[in-house]
A and B are shown apart, each in its own frame.
Chain A
Amino acid sequence: KAGVTQTPRYLIKTRGQQVTLSCSPISGHRSVSWYQQTPGQGLQFLFEYFSETQRNKGNFPGRFSGRQFSNSRSEMNVSTLELGDSALYLCASSLARGSSYNEQFFGPGTRLTVL
């Protein structure tokens, strides 16, 4: 079974631009979460989607948004890019939501550089 895939793997943008990152979860997985990883702040939760609905959101400004499609694929969008948005963006998928916690499987990430 294929793992979580993220595209593109690398991106270079300039301040003020916007960017869209894509994540395809493991087949059959319905929950997709996004994390930002930076040297200064470490790994921080952005948001989680399940059944095309955002179920949970971290402490990020409204410039960060996302969506999930009916096939569980997810996109993350960052508008009006700032230098501080340079980071590795990780997507994780899990099987479902239920009474017990489902482990998350991570993709390789998209490295975003903002100049």
Chain B
Amino acid sequence: AQSVTQPDIHITVSEGASLELRCNYSYGATPYLFWYVQSPGQGLQLLLKYFSGDTLVQGIKGFEAEFKRSQSSFNLRKPSVHWSDAAEYFCAVGLNDYKLSFGAGTTVTVRA
């Protein structure tokens, strides 16, 4: 079955430390890949996307993600976390049906 998996429900990281959020997908073809962030009470903001080409993509707010076809993964990273990065992060995939399928989300807590 087609699915998007975010293995980590909750991650706690110290301010200034690095962050990596995992995302794996199970689809027959390589889908379009996205990372969104949602702050409490807010909608979703697109951090970055991968359609094709360079497998390391840069996004907003200092985030980057790497697409690894062999591992069916699209992990999100940030070298140095700021307190404002505390939020919920969603990995999403899209096919040519214009329907996004989301992972369950990873909540990031940043401690001082």
Chain A residues proximal to chain B, CB less than 8 Å: 4, 31, 33, 35, 42-45, 48, 50, 55-56, 58, 90, 92, 94, 97, 100-109
- B86 CB to closest chain A CB, in angstroms? 18
In the complex, B75 has a CB within 8 A of chain A: no
Chain B residues proximal to chain A, CB less than 8 Å: 32, 34, 36, 42-46, 49, 51, 90, 92, 94-105
List chain B residues, Cβ under 8 A from A105: 46
Question: Chain B contact residues: over half helix, strand or loop, or mixed?
Answer: strand
Contact (Cβ within 8 A) B34 A45 = no
- B34 CB to closest chain A CB, in angstroms? 7
Contact (Cβ within 8 A) B46 A56 = no
- B14 CB to closest chain A CB, in angstroms? 27
Contact (Cβ within 8 A) A101 B99 = no
